[in-house]
Amino acid sequence: MQPDPTPPPAPQSLAPRAPHAAPVAAPVLALRGVTKRFGGALALDGVDFELLPGEIHGLLGENGAGKSTLMKMLSGVHAPDEGELWLRGEPVRFTSPAEAKSRGIGMIYQELSTIGALSVAENVFLGDQLTNRAGLVNWSRMNAAARAQLRELGIRVDVTQRLGDLPLGVQQMVEIARVVFSGAEVIILDEPTSALSVPEAERLFALMRQLKASGKSLIFISHFLEDVLAVADRVTILKNARKVAELPNAGLTKQRLIELMIGREATALATSYQEGVHLPPPVETEPVLELEQLSIPGAFANVSLTVRSGEILGIFGFLGSGMTEVARTLFGQLRPRQGTIRLAGRPIRPRSSTQAKRLGIAYVTENRRATLFPRHEVYKNVTLAHLDQLVAPLFRHGAEVSLTGRLVKRTGVRPPDPRLLAGYLSGGNQQKVVLAKWLTRQPKLLILNEPTRGMDVGAKREVLDLVKALKAEGVAVLLLSAEPETVMAECDRILVMSKGRVTKEFAGQRVSKELLMEYA
């Protein structure tokens, strides 16, 4: 079924109305009392949400607040356990993303679904290429149509050019154009500015305003509060799976949004974080890692920092902050364009993860699944990164099991059985296995990217206690996290990164969630 071709009503002002003003337009999309559970955990708890015709509606909340679940419900990935979804005044229940798309709902994900090796025109008509009577691609017709459609949105680009050669901001606008011209009337944008420069973000905002003026309705999800304030008409805030506020943008401030997102009704521990913690005095040990003006265009710029022996330096930032790219550069996965890296006083420039590992750098990525082999035994997972440096192949098996047995006891893996398949362990114990892998040969520098993501409180505490034990042994630790509580509780100093740059350093002073988020 195609979207209703009837033009939506003109956007209505969200300011207070005079007594005889026309009523606000009916929502194009509405959730009523929606609840979603995964196992025993509530992802959404009785949430209401409305999107008006010709509106940009910002959706905010901390990690785990329920934003992703809400959007996956609107785009047909999940169905609600309770409550209703209404589209253009009719109740609907999507059974797949394809069905949601056919009803005029388009989703722009954080990771673009365009194909860089294809031309701009091929991406505009991806999956629906224009053909002639013989069934062959009609290149001239498709190029002309793509050019006309993009110009209609103010996008002027050579449609025959390979998309991957164009700036990320242009690639993103091409994806939005593809969604628009597939018939979408409701467009959901998930963290669209996370990897964009300021000028690219401004061009995106201009496109969003143009789509709004044409009657499209947009949902804008972002950690960058100033971006939401720059373009949204209204803002809905989720916290702990519930809606806590729905407000017009007029008069809203970043500080007010932060207060609503964090809340004031948490436990005593969380309250202490809200009020702030006092970081310890900076340590005076020898530097292990020193960065000076390190840059990769489009990823991060002029990053300078020092991590000392027996110190945990935290970097706090959201998606697109550049902190993950800094970590990957240190581990030899990305090549810096300029700047200096020194390890224990010596300039280095790792060209591979193998070289970084031999230099004494260990990197635990944010994605456990990328570094764990769940269908293999724990001992194989632990020794894999250092297999060539352990023992001769003839004696390898027994040495692997023996070494892993000592490491799983040290890291508190439960059960401490090296021969157990890694996939049988809980998420927290799997993360301990990943850490044990890098303790086979104790590193000089341990980089931890979201080391406790997705863990329960007990598992988080155990993993972070292990990190503190390594710090006490003199290991320099660089801890990256988008969770304010993690960096506040565990780090000796904290840097904040936003859009590729270090925006603030906290050392030997009070720091709070509000302060961290203000600079992020």
Rounded to an integer, what distance in angstroms lies between the CA atom of residue 163 and that of residue 142?
Answer: 15
Residue owning tokens 């505009």: 124
Task: Give the pair of three-digit tokens for residue 483.
Answer: 């969770």
- Which of the residues in the chain have pLDDT under 70? 1-24, 195, 264-275, 368-369, 385-396, 454-458
DSSP letter for 16, please.
P
- Give tens-digit pLDDT for 147-203: 998 988 888 899 999 998 888 788 888 988 888 888 899 999 988 887 677 777 888
CA 230 from chain centre, in angstroms, equals: 21
- Strand boundaries in 61-156, DSSP class E: 82-87, 90-92, 105-108
Decide if 461 contacts 451 (C-beta within 8 A).
no
Rounded to an integer, what distance in angstroms lies between the CA atom of residue 182 and that of residue 102?
Answer: 9
Q: Helix (H, G, I), strand (E, B), or coil: what is residue 36? A: strand
Q: Helix (H, G, I), strand (E, B), or coil: what is residue 408? A: helix
Give the angle 45-51-56 at the CA atoms, nearest 5°: 120
The pLDDT of residue 136 is 87
The verdict on domain 277-519 having CATH code 3.40.190.10 is: no
Question: Closest by alpha carbon to 433, among 446, 421, 449, 442?
Answer: 421
β-pairing, 242-248 vs 501-507, is unpaired
Q: What is the dihedral of CA 17, 21, 26, 29, to 10 degrees?
A: -30
Residues forming beta bridges with residue 213, ordered by sequence position: none
Taken in order 136, 139, 141, 147, is the CA torsion positive or negative? positive
pTM beyond cutoff 0.85: no
The pLDDT of residue 454 is 62
Decide if 336 contacts 295 (C-beta within 8 A).
yes
Question: Closest by alpha carbon to 179, among 216, 234, 206?
Answer: 216
Q: Helix (H, G, I), strand (E, B), or coil: what is residue 332? A: coil
Count of beta carbons in the 10 Å neighbourhood of residue 493: 24
In the Cβ-directed half-sphere of 438, how many Cα atoms lie within 13 Å? Answer: 29
Rounded to an integer, what distance in angstroms lies between the CA atom of residue 447 and that of residue 443?
Answer: 10
β-pairing, 493-498 vs 312-316, is parallel
Domain residue ranges of the chain, discontinuous segments joined by +: 113-167+177-183, 277-519
Phi, psi of 395 (to 5 degrees): -110, 10
The pLDDT of residue 215 is 93
> Angle, to 10 degrees, between the axis of helix 427-438 and the axis of helix 396-411?
120
The pLDDT of residue 265 is 41
| Exposure letters 20-47 (e unless 16+ CB within 10 A, then b) | eeeeeeebbbbbbebebeeeeebbbbeb
The pLDDT of residue 40 is 74
Task: Give the pair of three-digit tokens for residue 383.
Answer: 């020794």
In the Cβ-directed half-sphere of 356, how many Cα atoms lie within 13 Å? Answer: 25
